[in-house]
Amino acid sequence: MKIQFAIEDLLKFLQATLNALSSNIAILDHQGKIIAVNKAWNQFAEWNGYAGENYGLGANYLQICQGAEGENAEEASEVETAILQVMRKKADTMEVKYPCHSPTEQRWFTVKISSFELNGEIWTVIAHDNITERELAEQQLQASQAELQELNTNKDKLFSIISHDLKSPFHSLMGFAEIFSNDLKDYSLEDLQEFGTHIYAATNNLYGLLDNLLQWSQIQTGKMDYNPVTLDASTAITNVTGLLQGNAFQKKIELVTRLEPQSWIVADTVMIQLIFQNLIANSIKFTEPGGSVTVKSNINSNSVELNVNDNGIGIPPRQLSNLFKVGKQVSTLGTAQEKGTGLGLILCKELIEKNRGHIQAQSTPGQGTQIQVQFPLAAPPQTV
């Protein structure tokens, strides 16, 4: 009787020891049947939709793995293979990491598998541990590293523009400043007027570059205000084309608008106008005198499609593939020798994506370019 009492106390002691462990533990016999579990295992079972005290006792763990379906099937098969490796003494221990997401949260676990021999039989210990916090921390670290890499790329591009593209207009201005600092008697009025024209072009180009740099840096640092409202894209773009009619007139280019009214989108008005000011001005820049630039829109079932088409000089395939990539784009002179950095298109892409849109380009050298922008279609604003 005393011996039986001692055995009962020993079993209670062993169960209490298992229950004190934070890992979700199950012990299997040589066939894979669960013969003991701990308290943490019961909670683990409830998390995964199984109720009942000591869930799984008497069930075959290998068969549970084999019966897994859907998203968990591949991980369950991997766990089963690891268990068999340990059971058959092909490995002392095995560890498998797997996702175990619930309807309300994402979770990750590791299962560690080991074994011991008793009375001539192999007993397998399965221990599941929740590593969700560690996994989320690793994902956050990877995201931070990717963000840091992008910031470094953008920083390198910014310095490249400052060190290279700003030199050209400054050299031009310095050259003319040197001329004006000397005796002007050797120059006619026509010469001075020509100098003035070049100075205006250089300062205008410099202003445009600095403006794009400022706006781009504001996006990168999160300092650009973002105030989305429900707006009619056709109205916003009509305002832009009105401002750019003078640019088109100077180059004898026809600027045509074919915009569907009530093209409702949710976006920042200033950003939308800035986007299309860059895109339309770019098309004018790369279109020969006598050509045309057409801005049109289509309202689809769930999106508003806005296109800027020109019949200009087009874009070579190699440049087209890098058109919106920081550090990859190549500055090209316009048909009237207008200068630029290519930064305007990158600025457009980032502003479009900030407003939940998408941009793509198609072009044939010598025939023209089409820039297509899409935004999600929004419900019309409620009238008061």
Q: What is the pLDDT of residues 68-113, one digit of tens each?
A: 777 778 888 899 999 999 999 999 999 999 887 777 778 898 999 9
Q: 256 and 111, same structural domain?
A: no
159 in a structural domain: no
Give the helix, strand, coil percentages of the chain, each rounded to 5.
50, 20, 30
Q: Which of 201, 223, 245 is the last residue of a domain?
A: 223
Neighbours of 187 (CB within 10 A): 14
Q: 242 and 218, same structural domain?
A: no
Cα–Cα dist 377/125, whole Å: 56
162 in a structural domain: no
Question: 99, 108 in Cβ contact below 8 A?
Answer: yes
Q: 241 and 125, same structural domain?
A: no
160 in a structural domain: no
Per-residue confidence (pLDDT) for residue 342, from 0 to 100: 58
Structure tokens at 164: 């290279």
Residue count of the chain, please give it. 384
CATH number at residue 24: 3.30.450.20
Q: Which domain holds residue 300?
A: 225-384
Per-residue confidence (pLDDT) for residue 220, from 0 to 100: 62
Structure tokens at 78: 């991997």
Q: Which of 223, 248, 264 is the last residue of a domain?
A: 223
Domain count, the chain: 3
3 state SS of 37? strand
- Under-70 pLDDT residues of the chain: 1-5, 48-55, 154-155, 157-169, 201, 205, 208-209, 212-213, 215-223, 325-343, 383-384
154 in a structural domain: no
3 state SS of 310? strand
Instruction: Find the helix or strand (DSSP H, E) in which 55 lies.
Output: none
Q: 250 and 210, same structural domain?
A: no
Per-residue confidence (pLDDT) for residue 384, from 0 to 100: 46
Kindly report the backbone phi and psi dihedral angles of residue 34, in degrees, each rounded to the nearest multiple of 5, phi listed first: -75, 120
pLDDT in tens, 19-73: 898 899 999 999 999 999 998 888 877 776 665 655 678 889 998 888 877 777 8
Per-residue confidence (pLDDT) for residue 148, from 0 to 100: 85
Instruction: Find the helix or strand (DSSP H, E) in which 293 lies.
Output: strand 292-299
Structure tokens at 277: 């000011």
Q: 355 and 257, same structural domain?
A: yes
Per-residue confidence (pLDDT) for residue 205, from 0 to 100: 64
The reported pTM is: 0.51
Q: Which of 110, 130, 150 is the last residue of a domain?
A: 130
> Is the four-CA dihedral 137, 143, 147, 152 of positive or negative sign?
positive
173 in a structural domain: yes
Amino acid present at 233: A
Question: 76, 84 in Cβ contact below 8 A?
Answer: no
Q: 177 and 35, same structural domain?
A: no
123 in a structural domain: yes
Q: 239 and 329, same structural domain?
A: yes
Q: 234 and 214, same structural domain?
A: no
Instruction: Find the helix or strand (DSSP H, E) in which 180 lies.
Output: helix 167-181
Q: 218 and 113, same structural domain?
A: no
Q: 235 and 215, same structural domain?
A: no
